[in-house]
Every structure is written in C-alpha cells, then in structure tokens.
Amino acid sequence: MSTIALSKSGSYDRIMRLLGSLWFLLLALCVAVRIGASLHDPWPALLSSFCLGIFYMLLALLIMTRSPAKAHADGLLPRIAAFVGSYLPWTISFLGKTDDTLPNLASTACVLVGTIMMLVTIRHLGRSFSLVPQARSVVQSGPYRWIKHPLYVAEEIVVLGVVLQYLTPVTVIVLVLHIGIQVCRILYEEDLLRRNCPEYSSYEASRWRVIPYVW
C-alpha cells in the first residue's frame, strides 16, 4: 500500500472516530437536557435516563480511543451494516419516553447490566473496539473464553433497555431490525478475522457466537 493510501486510510479512520464520538456525545447531551427539563418526573424515569446518558458518554470515549486496524472489511455492505447497526437504534432517544414505573425500572436494569457487561468486555478487548468490521487481534480472555461476540450481546441488552424506555410498536420493529443487522455484522466480522488472523480458525471452532448451545 502506498504512503498516500495509508494517509487516506488514517484520515478516514480519524474522521470516522470523530463523527462517531460526536454523535454519541450529542445523544448524551440530549438526554441531559431532557433530564434537566423533567426533574419532577418519577424517579424511575430519571434513573433510566441518567444510566442511558452515562452509556452514551462511555461509547463516545471508546470510539475516540480505539487503536488503528490491521484490515477493514471489503465492500460497501459491511460498512452500511455497521453504520445502521451502530446508529439506528439510538435514534429512539429522540422519541417521547414513557413515565410508567415498570418499563423504566426494567430499562434501568437492562442498561446497567449491558453497560457492566460492556465494561468487562472492553477491559479484555482493550483498544481493539470498533464499529465497522476491522481486524486487530483475536482476544480470548474474559467473556471471550465462552462466546465470540460478548460486546454485541451487551449492546443488544442496552438497546432492549432503550426500547423499554420508549416502548411503542415502532421501537419494537427497530429492535427486531437491529438484531437482524447485528447478525450480518457478526458474519462480516468473522469473515474478516478468518482471512487476516490465522489464530482465529482454532478459536472460532471452540466457541459459540452469542448464546451458548444456541448460536
């Protein structure tokens, strides 16, 4: 690869990191503004919003500090899947939320569990975190000892929490679509790792993808 191409690739990665971080910081700001404007709402609603805002800030930090990739997925479809999968479900935050106690408590539990799972996973993943399918290294410690994609599981739990906060038929449809897109992202990522990390084949053969004994 030429120096120019490398430079372009580095510039592209920096721009994507900046835009991704700004997007989640914007969402965190929207949540903070909403909390400030609704301090008299029931405490379960405020708690679920606060947890979601913390999650958005954490994602912004992770995107900004990720390391350069060894290789990127080829073609447009993996990038589209990554873009839609990464940003579509969080647009739910712009919809009107419910004040009902039970959905908000369930939402808080999901966001907290998903965030803790993500922090534990990131502790072992380190700066190999990415949105678009990229090859950095094959992590086999922590939750990666049992499943190949714990970060996707953590993210989906948080998305479920967001849907419970903004529960409507539309948000349920978004959740179902998001799960389908995440499956595509997993398959793209596995193909990329298979082609660029020789150690991945033996690791792949001995792990379930997301749910042990199911898939």
* pLDDT tens profile 92-137: 877 777 778 888 899 999 999 998 998 888 877 765 555 555 555 6
DSSP class per residue in 33-59: HHHHHTTTS-HHHHHHHHHHHHHHHHH
d(CA 121, CA 167): 28
- Please give the residue that has the higher pLDDT: either 30 or 83: 30
Q: Tokens 């993808």 map to which residue?
A: 209
- When pLDDT is averaged across residues 32-60 and rounded to a whole number, the result is 86
d(CA 111, CA 159): 8
Cβ atoms within 10 Å, residue 172: 11
- Residue 107: HSE in the Cβ half-sphere, 13 Å Cα cutoff: 28
Which residue, among 108, 114, 113, has the nearest Cα to 164 in the 3D structure? 108
* pLDDT tens profile 59-87: 888 888 766 555 566 667 777 777 788 78
Q: What percent of the chain has pLDDT over 70?
A: 85
- The pLDDT-based confidence of 45 (bands split at 50, 70, 90) is confident
Q: What average pLDDT is seen over the chain?
A: 80
d(CA 41, CA 102): 14
DSSP class per residue in 187-210: HHHHHHHHHH-TTHHHHHHT-BSS
Instruction: Please say whether the beta carbons of 139 and 172 come within 8 A.
Output: no
3-state secondary structure (DSSP) of residue 93? helix
